[in-house]
Amino acid sequence: MFRIFLTKKILSGEASPVAEERPRQRNRRIYERFQVDQKHLTVLNDQDILVIRDISVKGFASQVSDRAFDRFLLGDVYVARMRYHGKVQELDIKVAWKRDGQVGFELHEPETATTLFFKNLVRPVQLAHSLSQVDASFMESHEGLTWYHGENVDLHIWMTDDAGLSAWQLVADDQIVEWSAVHGIKTGVLKRQSFSESGILEPGEVLRSIDDSPNATRLRFASDIIQSGTFPESQELVRSLDSSAVAV
C-alpha cells in the first residue's frame, strides 16, 4: 500500500540506556493503532527494510534490525517522503519510543496537509479492522452469502463450494465497489436525499449512483480495505480485482 523513505536526519536525540515504554493513549478512538502486514514497508537509505507492525493517525511502529535499533535514538527527527498510490507527501517524523526490537515514530509538528494525508492513509485499515461477520439468513437471496459489517462499512460476498466466488459488494464511507463473475467491476456512490418537515431536516431516500466507468480512486480505496482485512475470503477478493481489466 505505501512506502516511507527516510531521506535525512534533521535533529539528533540523545542516547538512553533505558528503553522508553509506549506512551499511554489518552483517547483510544483518535489514536487507535492498527496492526498491518508485511506489504507495508518503510525504507531507509536503500539499506534497511523496516517492516511496519502497526499504524495510527499519529505515527507508526517498525520492526528493525539490531543495527538500526542502536542507530535510532529517542528524539531523532527525520525528513521522510511517503509514497501512497502515486502521491508523494513529505513529512517530519520523530523517534518516540524503542522497545523489544521495535521503534515507534510519530509525526513531528505536522502541517494540516500531512495530518489529512495520514488520516486518509489509515482510514482503509480502520474500516477493515472494524468488520465482523453477521447473520445474513434473514436477507433475500442469502444462499452462499457472507455478510461483514463494520463502522460505516458493509461487505457482501457470494461464494459457493461448487462455483467459488461469484460476486461481492463493498460499501464504505458511501463509496460503492462491486464485482461479479458475469458483469465484472463497477463503482459508484450512495447519494442521500433529505427533506424538511416542520422546519426539521429529515433523512430521505438513499440512491445508488453508478459511475459510467470504474473510478480508479474508489477502486484503490476498496483494494486497500480488502488487503487490510482479516476475513478468510480477502485473498479471493484481491484476485478478483487483479483479474479485472482495470488497473488498481
Among 68-77, 89-98, 124-133, 197-206, whose mean pLDDT is lowest?
Answer: 197-206
Name the residue among 193, 240, 248, 192 with its Cα closest to residue 221: 248
Would you state the CATH architecture of domain 2-129? Beta Barrel (2.40)
Extents of the domains making up the chain: 2-129, 132-243
Q: What is the DSSP letter of 235?
A: H
Taking only the tens place, the pLDDT of each residue in 193-209 is 765 555 565 666 788 99
Taking only the tens place, the pLDDT of each residue in 123-173 is 999 999 999 999 888 776 667 899 999 999 999 999 888 878 999 999 999
Q: Which contacts qualify for 211-217: CB closer than 8 Å, 24 or more apart?
A: 211/186, 211/187, 214/185, 214/186, 214/187, 214/244, 214/246, 215/187, 215/188, 216/246, 216/247, 216/248
pLDDT at 2 over 70: no
In this prediction the pTM is 0.77
184 and 245 Cβ atoms separated by less than 8 Å: yes
Place of cell 493517525: 57
